[in-house]
Amino acid sequence: QKEVEQNSGPLSVPEGAIASLNCTYSDRGSQSFFWYRQYSGKSPELIMSIYSNGDKEDGRFTAQLNKASQYVSLLIRDSQPSDSATYLCAVTVSDTGRRALTFGSGTRLQVQP
């Protein structure tokens, strides 16, 4: 079983719609959760971090975390064609002293103009 799972997509939404990206993780001890955006040929760019249950909003982006269900999601409101990219979910595994990120395989988002 993969430690971090994402639907690979592509997820296609019309411009102006809400895009919903989902991620599940297997390690119940995971403490830190991140969403990165990666444009083709570029390195990952941090969008959001979330550490506690509930919602965290930053502009058009909302991250949602449910530790009981081992589920983290990213909502993008008013989607724009410039949001078209691969979105990577990442978590820190809870091993003592090990703060490296474990990534999901990414979801490719296409925003249609």
Partner 1 sequence: SAVISQKPSRDICQRGTSLTIQCQVDSQVTMMFWYRQQPGQSLTLIATANQGSEATYESGFVIDKFPISRPNLTFSTLTVSNMSPEDSSIYLCSVEGGEGSTDTQYFGPGTRLTVL
Q: Which of 21, 17, 16 is nearest to 74 (CA)?
A: 21
106 lines the binding site for partner 1 (CB under 8 A) = yes
Q: Is 49 in the site for partner 1 (CB under 8 A)?
A: yes
Rule CB under 8 A: say whether 88 interacts with partner 1: yes
Using rule CB under 8 A, residue 32 touches partner 1: yes
Strand partners of residue 86 = 38, 108
Which member of 43, 52, 69, 82 binds partner 1 (CB under 8 A)?
43
Binding flag, residue 15, partner 1 (CB under 8 A): no
Q: Enumerate binding residues for partner 1 (CB under 8 A).
A: 32, 34, 42-46, 49, 51, 88, 92, 98-106
